[in-house]
Amino acid sequence: MVKRGIRYFKEHGIKKTLARSFLELSSRLNDKNESQINKGGTMLKLDVGCGQNKKEGFLGIDIIKYDSVDFVMDITREKLPFEDNVVDEVYSHHFFEHLDSPKEALEELIRVSVHGAIFEIWTPYLKSNDAFVLGHRHFYNETIWRHICIEHLTLWLKDVDAILRLDKFCYVLNPNIIEELDQLHIPLSFALRHMFNMANDFGAFMTVLKGKDVKDRTYGEPERYVSYLIHSPFVKLSDSKGK
């Protein structure tokens, strides 16, 4: 792990302070086995496709070298410079819609994640104008994530002994949409299922579950939450009576 990290520092010009911190972390992790890491070892947090807006406290990964990017790489073609089971949180905002396929990126992120790690992946909502901006190669909604995580996981996650359990979907609504739907007497839950441009941002929240038998188990359905802003509190859709 240390050698791989040093190679990345030299190739991509990562700051010396970060390099020093990474090497110290690598040394500590190499002295721990997997069970020790899971019981309180130092965990990493990754912001994948961070661009110039890296989430605070996270290591930034992007194919373009911005000042905020810690590792310049193509996660669909290159392995992350980390050992297995050292990440407990993965965040991504408007990155996955640019990939030719999410399979390689998801499997690599799962590899470096611990059992129980949280994935929070935001994309434009498929049923919105923003989804069809030039440069977007795939469109995401509930059906797509169900294909990846539930219905066809032996295809999308076939190279890892793990799954992504779908916990919840979050929708960032377009301004004033609830008030407009109220005037038309249309429940928000109905509108999200059947109408266009109700929400612009769509978040899938998942938990990494690892083990030989996790793909054989049955899991509950994801809950749905709504808000007008991505950083504001979300309200559970079934508890809000359609609002």
85-137 pLDDT, tens digit per residue, is: 999 999 999 999 999 999 999 999 999 999 999 999 999 999 999 999 999 99
First to last CA, the chain: 49
User: Exposure pattern of 131-154 as b/e (b: 16+ CB <10 Å)?
Assistant: beeeebeebbbbebbbebbbeebe
Calculate helix-pair angle for 2-12, 16-30, nearest 10 degrees: 170
Strands 162-173 and 199-210: antiparallel
pLDDT over 70 at 24, yes or no = no
Give 34-70 pLDDT, tens digit per residue: 333 334 468 999 999 999 999 999 999 999 999 999 9
The top-level CATH class assigned to 78-239 is alpha beta
**Contact 58/45 with Cβ under 8 angstroms?**
yes
Q: Record the pTM.
A: 0.80
CA 110: distance to chain centroid?
A: 10
Which carries the bigger pLDDT value, residue 23 or residue 150? 150
pLDDT over 90 at 232, yes or no = yes
What is the percentage of the chain residues whose pLDDT exceeds 90?
79
pLDDT band at 11 (very low <50, low <70, confident <90, very high): low
SS3 175: coil
Partnered with residue 44 across adjacent β-strands are 87
Annotated domain spans of the chain:
78-239
The four Cα atoms 230, 231, 236, 239 give a dihedral, to 10 degrees, of -120
